Amino acid sequence: MKSHIPSRRPLAMIATLAFAAAFAAPVLAAGEEVIMHKDPNCGCCGKWAEHMRAAGFSVKEIKNPNMSEVKRAAGVPQALGSCHTAKVGGYVIEGHVPAADVKRLLAEKPKVAGISAPGMPQGSPGMEGPFPADRYDVVSFTADGRTKVFASH
């Protein structure tokens, strides 16, 4: 004789799928391809790409001797410039921005053009070395040039 008590299996399956979906977005964001333009003679850019790969991103490195044109076309404010310029998920990533900040950007999807670690802060991803790490800000910027601190390190 069949039981008329509803099975809990479908409910458990729905709960499991909902739980998985809640955590899938950050994982998928990390798997997005980063297209990075870098000066052919720069070594720290490759180290930043390695940092991003270690964080789960796929990185395509493009050697470009005309980085000022790349930055201008990407809309990077001159004051926020660094050595390499990348794009991921529709955003510009300028310089040695930590992967955690890129993941946060992709998860939160703020209305900005991108984020930058201006200059080349010592101790930032790709700029590790024997010197003490600098304190630095990652700054968001809009297409019309407005800026705001996105993260501090």
Of 6, 14, 141, the residue nearest 78 (C-alpha) = 141
In a domain, 17, yes or no: no
pTM of the model: 0.80
**What does the alpha-carbon distance between residue 91 and residue 89 come to, in Å, rounded to a whole number?**
6
The domain total for the chain is 1
In a domain, 22, yes or no: no
Domain region containing 98? 29-152
User: Which pLDDT score, from 0 to 100, does residue 153 have?
Assistant: 97
**What does the alpha-carbon distance between residue 57 and residue 24 come to, in Å, rounded to a whole number?**
15
> How does pLDDT run along the chain (153 residues), one tens digit per residue?
554 554 444 433 333 333 333 333 444 444 689 999 999 988 889 999 999 999 999 999 999 999 999 999 999 999 999 999 999 999 999 999 999 999 999 999 999 999 999 999 999 999 999 889 999 999 999 999 999 999 999
Cβ contact 91:66 at 8 Å: no
Find the CATH number of the domain harbouring 49.
3.40.30.10
